[in-house]
Chains A and B, each alone.
Chain A
Amino acid sequence: MNAIQKHILGIGLMLAVFAIGSSGLVVITENATRDKIAENERQALLNAINMLITANEYNNDILSDTIEIKPNKQLSTTKPTTVYRARKNEQPVAAIFTVVAPNGYNGKIKLLVGVYQTGTLAGVRVISHKETPGLGDKIDDRKADWISQFSGLGLNKPEPSQWAVKKDGGQFDQFTGATITPRAVIQAIKNALHYFEQNQTDLFKEHDKAPS
């Protein structure tokens, strides 16, 4: 082996040593943090659910009492989503599931809705969106309380014709300079309520009998 080859081999070996060293560092950290991160994520999810339905309204392990639903046209979901079922003493209380507003101003708006057995909304939260900062992003509960007005409403409260922004003759405020965003959100919430009404019994079935 000549000098150049030796030199190249040396560089390759050092590169390998650094690769092993840096991936080793990541592996060790991943191992040390895995359980803690899973616990944190569980807690964060539980907090999100408890913003829609308070913890004393149910007493089951809501994070385990779930079913998967397939991508659904009415909900505009393109991937399987998880439904969390709240029960009190085995009796269904509410379902918490994802609905997508496909027609936001800047693409999809993902919402988490909670619907009581009565068909009344427990609450709605925006999970992710790309709406314009300062205009459309008022749908985010961290920016404004607009989204909280939906708690307690249902398909017939207000009248179906009132389920729209004021500009379209409905009862909900649009934002200054942004009508498309609230319009999309309201439509998605309405879709979610229709979906719930049609699939209510299926949603609370055992794990293996998920509705499509």
Chain B
Amino acid sequence: MKTPGLRFFVTALVVLLGIWAGLKFHTAKRVEEPAVAVAAGVASAPEPKESSAMEAVPHPKVPARLPDFSLNDLSGKPTSIAAWSGKSMVINFWATWCGPCRREIPLLKTVAADWAGRDLAVVGIAVDYADKVRQFAAQFKIDYPVLIGEEDALEAAAKFGMDSPALPFTVFTDRRGEVVALFVGELHRPQADFILSEVQNLNQERIALPEARRAIAEGLDAMAGKNAG
């Protein structure tokens, strides 16, 4: 017969071993999860990235080419998006009530200025009330073209696969009107520069469209990973 002391010791050992095994199992699983949610959502067009069945938001069904739509400009004049055909485009969907959208405005102004004379058009599409947008555009001195709409702007967003739009999102096209990338969330300078460099490669026929889309998807993923890490 074992002594009570020994029995207690063995019991305690088994209990501790069990707790250790449980904790180890738990922490081993834990480290495989990403540490922080990253800054931006990306969908490159029109090949959706491989995704798991549990994906949070399905990638929008992005059209291969710039769809046609028409909205009023700041002065109320109906303007077709085709007015800029032959140019590469940065089409930014935004609203005055959206903080991240407002934060992007200075970047978009800089992009418009930096690329002036290089056949690139930055166009803002405000999903908002016209009077609010006019007031905001004047206050923030938006110097690139802005189109405005309510339901019709939502319909325009839906043409890019953003059926229940979250703002901001930005569409990049090459000069042939091919949709090169669709970026969901707040755009930052490195991402904008990177996508535009690929658009330029595409325009100068240094790279084919599928390659450019893949390079953008991979490059943005890498940037997002760097931000998270």
Please determine whether chains A and B interact with each other in the same assembly.
Answer: no
